[in-house]
């Protein structure tokens, strides 16, 4: 009798753990499918944005010469050939700062770092300094009330920008070195929230 009871108890416990495992698996697969749908939706929206604005979207590939990581410094003339022209560019990055330019406009500072995208990475830091209407940015931030939370790991954006000039500045690096930063100055054409899509899902 004790043996039968023991078997029943073992079966009940085993059934519980199996059901718990299956439920967790189903939940995890559902969350993964939802995340993949969000990724595809955002990337499709970016593609539509590029098509609508006729933006240059392949400048990173051309700048990196097809490699995932470029360690040698980037010359200003290289960016001039890719960023300056009749067409705007697509820039995947993160908002680093927003400052008042005048009564009607902000200056939007956007950086592309290794946390922005894993598609192509550069040793030289790239940023855009864009004049943008307050109305456009205020409306964007209103749609994303938690934009600056999560320590900046979830504030990715895709911007379409028209670049007018490029300058070089330097910031302190590791062990007393200087980190070169190339900044494209221009105007914001459009902006789209991407979250961490391009950081987690290149």
Q: What is the 3-state secondary structure (H, E, C) of 42-76?
A: HHHHHHHHHHHHCCECCHHHHHHCCCCEECCCCCH
pLDDT digits (tens, 9 = 90+) for 66-95: 777 887 888 999 999 999 989 999 999 888
- Of 110, 113, 129, the C-alpha closest to 121 is 113
The full set of domain ranges for the chain reads 6-200
User: How far apart, in Å, are the Cα atoms of 8 and each of 3, 12, 17, 20?
Assistant: 9, 6, 14, 18
Percent of the chain surpassing pLDDT 70? 73
pLDDT digits (tens, 9 = 90+) for 136-163: 999 998 888 777 776 556 778 999 999 9
Residues 70, 136: Cα–Cα separation, whole Å: 34
Tokens of 133: 């209407």
- Of 162, 147, 152, 156, the C-alpha closest to 192 is 156
pLDDT digits (tens, 9 = 90+) for 39-67: 777 888 888 999 999 999 999 888 888 77
Pairing of strands 89-100, 105-112: antiparallel
Q: What is the largest CA-CA distance in the chain?
A: 87
143 contacts 164 by C-beta, under 8 angstroms: no
């Amino acid at each position: 009798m004790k043996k039968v009871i023991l078997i029943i108890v073992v079966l009940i416990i085993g059934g519980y753990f199996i059901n718990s495992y299956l439920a967790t698996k189903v939940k995890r697969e559902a969350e993964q499918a939802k995340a993949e749908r969000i990724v595809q939706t955002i990337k499709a929206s970016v593609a539509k944005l590029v098509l609508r604005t006729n933006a240059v979207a392949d400048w990173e590939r051309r700048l990196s010469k097809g490699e995932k990581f470029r360690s040698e410094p980037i010359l200003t003339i290289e960016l001039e050939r890719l960023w300056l022209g009749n067409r705007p560019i697509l820039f995947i990055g993160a908002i680093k700062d927003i400052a008042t330019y005048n009564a009607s406009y902000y200056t939007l500072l956007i950086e592309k770092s290794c946390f922005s995208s894993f598609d192509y990475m550069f040793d030289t830091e790239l940023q855009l300094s864009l004049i943008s209407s307050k109305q456009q940015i205020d409306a964007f931030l209103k749609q994303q009330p938690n934009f600056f939370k999560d320590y900046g790991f979830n504030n990715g954006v895709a911007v379409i920008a028209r670049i007018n000039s490029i300058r070089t500045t330097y910031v302190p690096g590791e062990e007393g070195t200087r980190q070169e930063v190339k900044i494209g100055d221009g105007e914001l054409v459009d902006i789209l929230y991407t979250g961490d899509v391009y950081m987690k899902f290149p």
